[in-house]
Amino acid sequence: MSHFLSFHGGAGTVTGSRFLVETGNTRFLVDAGLFQGLKKLREMNWAKLRFDPASLDFILLTHAHIDHAGFLPRLTQQGFRGPVHATRASLDLARLLLMDAAKIQEEDAAFANRKGFSKHRPALPLYTSEDAEQAISLIEPLDYGDWIEPAAGVRASFRNAGHILGAAMIELRLRTAGGERTIVFSGDVGRYGVPLHSDPDPRPECDVLVMEATYGDREHDPRPMGDQIREALVTAIERRGTVLIPSFAVGRAQLVTLLLRQLIHSGELPEIPIHIDSPMAVDATRIYGQHLRDLSLDAADGEDGFGSLVPRNVQFHRSVEESKSLNLLPGPRIIISASGMLTSGRVLHHLKRLLPDEKNLILLVGFQAAGTRGRAMMEGARTIRVHGEDVPVRARFIPIGGLSAHADRGELLRWVRSQPKPPQTIFVVHAEEKAANAFARLLSSELGVRTIEPELGQRFEL
């Protein structure tokens, strides 16, 4: 029996992870991610699929991030009936993230209809809240280390990937005439020795490895994360400026608040007001608090629950009125708001207000994809377009790469080597072309393994 692996996303780009495995009569996806970033990528979410969603037997989900799970509602809309296997914490986060993604799709469609700028009349959302609810209902939670057999001859186990709460690498064993063939999907690999998330588990022994290389051509700042944040913040606080931290609501916002908590409690930073201005970040922090004993989190420092993740002086803002009221408050203070790449959401109102004043600081704490405002700022843009206005960039702005939830080049290599026996073949995915090239070269020279950088739509016999 032949087995095939084809790449329907996450190939040549960091988003849209969708890997189709075909074995005998069984067909399933590993991850069902949304394409994000540049318009030409986002448009690919609408393209006719090269497989029939109704023909999928199941889906294995590495983690809840939208670029890995955000396409699930579209698949249920087109006839996929489950199940989806994911860790318990991924289910909790997916509930939050998919409902939010559906709301954004619905709002975008409504906005396009109001403004009449869509080619399609009426403009339709990519999927609705009902589609998202249905997708969530298909998720069957499991724990790290469990073995499941979702189809005859297919076994799978999820291990901690250390990337965000509940994130997993997936070990897949396919029955063949000559015994079992093992394929490991790395999911997104986390970092070593950082606060909040625990280290990734060692790589399982495998014949084939499908591995991410988001930072395959770069090293993160090796200085401790807390030091980087403190150094960046000190001047802005002295100048009584407002610090805006655009942050992904899930994972990153919790890491930032935990670092701030440690700095404030140790006296390295003064006790200034901190605002988490994002309903999603508020909910995600609560979910993190409920999973403090989860293997993918480092044990909290004594206190239990929610409180151990945030500073004492933190305020949570869910409503738009509360968010707007922040505009009236003087510095020094810190506002943590979404989205992390300055693409949408409340953070834009804060950006517009804070960017023209040099005493303020914008701290970029995550990966900034091509085509986003965050990337434009990193490339030295003098003005940034927000809500139809060109806003001058006068505030200081500091990118902190070390806070990434992704392993860097050295950590990726360390993880591949955490199992002494190298795979026969490594597919390098989930990276922009330059990073994928560089990491594939590094793997071949360091490990002597065959590497493949698959293109979108390519199909390989395993």
Question: Which residue ranges make up the site for Zn ion (CB under 5 A)?
Answer: 65, 188
Residue of 25, 44, 24, 89 lying closest to 62 (CA atoms): 89
Q: Which is closer to Zn ion, CB of 188 or CB of 294?
A: 188
- Based on the number of CB atoms within 10 Å of its own CB, is 462 exposed (0-12), middle (13-18) or buried (19 or more)? middle
- Specify the DSSP class assigned to residue 403: G
Buried b (16+ CB within 10 A) or exposed e, 279-310: bbbebbbebbbebbebbbbeebeeeeeeebbb
Q: Which is closer to Zn ion, CB of 257 or CB of 404?
A: 404
Least gap, CB of 80 to Zn ion (angstroms): 22
Q: 37: alpha, beta or left, given left = phi > 0 and alpha = psi -120 to 50?
A: left
Dist. CA 200–CA 186, nearest whole Å:
10
Q: Which is closer to Zn ion, CB of 65 or CB of 95?
A: 65
| Runs of H (alpha helix) within 116-250 | 129-137, 225-238
- Specify the DSSP class assigned to residue 422: -
Q: Which is closer to Zn ion, CB of 284 or CB of 314?
A: 284
Q: Which is closer to Zn ion, CB of 188 or CB of 199?
A: 188
Dist. CA 79–CA 113, nearest whole Å:
26
Q: Which is closer to Zn ion, CB of 212 or CB of 277?
A: 212
Dist. CA 308–CA 195, nearest whole Å:
13
Please count the other Cβ atoms lying within 10 Å of the Cβ belonging to residue 158: 28
Least gap, CB of 163 to Zn ion (angstroms): 6
Contact 194, 225 (CB under 8 A): yes
Structure tokens at 149: 């057999």
Least gap, CB of 103 to Zn ion (angstroms): 20
Least gap, CB of 197 to Zn ion (angstroms): 11
Q: Which is closer to Zn ion, CB of 65 or CB of 220?
A: 65
For the chain, the first-to-last Cα distance in angstroms comes to 11
Least gap, CB of 252 to Zn ion (angstroms): 10
Q: Which is closer to Zn ion, CB of 229 or CB of 407?
A: 407
| Residue 93 φ then ψ, to 5° | -75, -35
Least gap, CB of 70 to Zn ion (angstroms): 11
Give the torsion sign (CA, 288, 163, 369, 77): negative
Buried b (16+ CB within 10 A) or exposed e, 341-365: bbbebbbbbbbebbbeeebbbbbbb
Q: Which is closer to Zn ion, CB of 16 or CB of 125?
A: 16
Q: Which is closer to Zn ion, CB of 214 or CB of 425?
A: 214
Contact 414, 387 (CB under 8 A): no
